[in-house]
Structure 1
Amino acid sequence: MTTALIADDEPLLRERLRSHLATLWPQLRVIGDARNGTEALELFELHQPDIVFLDIRMPGMDGIATARALARRAHLVFVTAYDQYALQAFEQGAIDYLVKPVDPLRLADTVQRLQERLASPLAAGNGLDAVLDQLASRLSQRAALPAWLQWIKASVGSSVRLIPVEQVRYLRAEEKYTLVAWEEGEALIRTSIKELGEQLDPGRFVQTHRSVIVNLAYVGAVTRGVNETAQLQLRGSSVTLPVSRSYLHHFRQM
Structure 2
Amino acid sequence: MDTINLPGFSRPILLNDILWLKGEATYTRIYYKDGSHAIVTKPLNYFSQHSTFIRVHRSIMVNSMYVHGLIQGKPRSLKLQLSTGTLLDVSRPYYQLLGDLFPSK
TM-score by length of 2: 0.78
Task: Name which of 2, 21, 46 aligns with 1:171.
Answer: 21
| SS of equivalent to 1:191 | coil
The yes-or-no answer on 1:150 pairing with 2:9 is: no
Distance 1:176 1:252, change over 3 A: same
2:47–2:53 CA contact under 8 A, matched in 1: no
CA distance in 1, matches of 2:43, 2:76: 27
Q: Which residue number corresponds to residue 193 of structure 1?
A: 44
Relative contact order, CA 8 A, sep 6+: which one is greater?
Answer: 2
1:167 Cα deviation (Å)? 1.9
Structure 2's unaligned 5+ residue stretches are: none
Q: Which residue number corresponds to residue 92 of structure 2?
A: 245
CA distance in 1, matches of 2:7, 2:31: 11
2:21–2:31 CA contact under 8 A, matched in 1: yes
Bigger proportion of residues as strand: 2
Q: Which residue number corresponds to residue 212 of structure 1?
A: 60
Residues 21-36 of structure 1: matches in 2 within 5 Å? none
Matched AA of 1:193:
L
Q: Which residue number corresponds to residue 33 of structure 2?
A: 183
2:5–2:12 CA contact under 8 A, matched in 1: yes
Identity across matched positions, percent: 25
Deviant stretches of 4+, over 6 Å? none
Structure 1's unaligned 5+ residue stretches are: 1-82, 84-148
Matched AA of 2:71:
T
| SS of equivalent to 2:97 | helix
Q: Which residue number corresponds to residue 230 of structure 1?
A: 78
Deviations 1:138-176 (A, max 9, x none): xxxxxxxxxxx7324254xxx635311122111101233
1:154–1:188 CA contact under 8 A, matched in 2: no
Number of matched residues?
100
CA distance in 2, matches of 1:242, 1:249: 14
1:221 Cα deviation (Å)? 2.9
CA distance in 2, matches of 1:170, 1:246: 19
Which structure has the larger Rg?
1
How well do the aligned residues superpose, as a CA RMSD in angstroms?
2.2
Deviations 1:53-87 (A, max 9, x none): xxxxxxxxxxxxxxxxxxxxxxxxxxxxxx5xxxx
Distance 1:234 1:154, change over 3 A: farther
CA distance in 1, matches of 2:33, 2:94: 25
1:228 Cα deviation (Å)? 3.5
TM-score by length of 1: 0.35
1:200 Cα deviation (Å)? 1.1
